[in-house]
Structure 1
Amino acid sequence: MKCKNPKLCSKKHEKWKKNQRQFIPIGEREHELFLKYLEKKTAKLTLGRHSDKRQYQRLISTNDVNDIIKNGWVIERNFFPNDQSVSLVILGYTRTYRPIHVVCIVLNDDHWFVKTVYSPVSKEYKWANGYQDRICFCKDKEEDE
């Protein structure tokens, strides 16, 4: 597959880059704080039904998810004003060097909800710079499910 609308996605990418320059440092601080709670063993990480289903379909273990949250880095932070929620996309690599994105909703400083997990390799055309920069914003059917 490839991008269905390169011109529009290029514009969206520029806006995305500008926003992420501002928001990724905030996400990094949120991630660091959550990791401190994990060290103290007071953090709560909830895996939802959707993420369980996607883990199974995409052969991503719960250990992989935990490792990526502990050792990965924030590549995207989004704020949704309608429900006042924040999501972080964390990139990390499994022990077999497979890149994985874990999408978390920050419920609280010490409580995160894993919304979904996926390998960006499955839609490589959407990513640049080692799967860190989103360059295609086209919607896929599967993403809406």
Structure 2
Amino acid sequence: MCQRQEGCKAPERCRKVRPEFARSNAQALEEYGQTEYEKLRALFATEGFGCLRLSKHALQREYQKAISEAELRTVILEGDPIEYYANKYGTQKITLWGNVHVGYAKYRTLHIILKKRRSEEKWSVVTVYDPQSKAWQWNENYTERICFCREK
């Protein structure tokens, strides 16, 4: 059930789309996404940010939203993949979810979207954001998409 409909432009449509998206995403994560994430995490554990490319947009978002390199590191090493997508051209996208410690009993939820083309060796950080900025798109833990409206 879309619990945060106030920002959703088409709640009925989103309720219909959600079960199929959840099923196909769970299958993709199980078949490919988890494995790709484990490879990335192992590489990142040894090479750090040298194994990634940070897009200009990701760097801007880090600055604008006061997201530190340490917070990115925490999500990449300790987070969980929550969405995985691959197209027929060999482009893969993974959305990582993680909570980072920001103070005594205080945590900040972050999402990192990574992309890798078949022709590229490195994963690119496309963007990083706090999903609370668009809370209506996510369940209460920010681990499952519940709104599929396109924003313009």
Query: Are 2:70 and 1:63 equivalent residues in the alignment?
Result: yes
Q: TM-score, normalised by structure 1?
A: 0.87
Counterpart in the other structure of 1:88 = 94
Counterpart in the other structure of 2:147 = 136
- Structure 2 unaligned spans of 5+: 1-5
Query: Are 2:21 and 1:21 equivalent residues in the alignment?
Result: no
Q: CA deviation at 1:110?
A: 6.2
Q: TM-score, normalised by structure 2?
A: 0.83
- Structure 1 unaligned spans of 5+: none
Percentage of identical aligned residues: 29
Q: Which of 83, 87, 101 is the equivalent residue of 1:76? A: 83
Counterpart in the other structure of 2:10 = 5
Q: Matches of 2:141 and 2:33 in 1, distance apart? A: 19
Counterpart in the other structure of 2:115 = 105
Secondary structure of the residue aligned to 1:64 is helix
Worse-superposed segment, 36-45 or 55-64? 36-45
- Tell whether the 8 Å contact from 1:35 to 1:70 is kept in structure 2 after alignment: yes
- Tell whether the 8 Å contact from 2:34 to 2:81 is kept in structure 1 after alignment: yes
Secondary structure of the residue aligned to 1:132 is coil
Q: Matches of 2:63 and 2:45 in 1, distance apart? A: 27
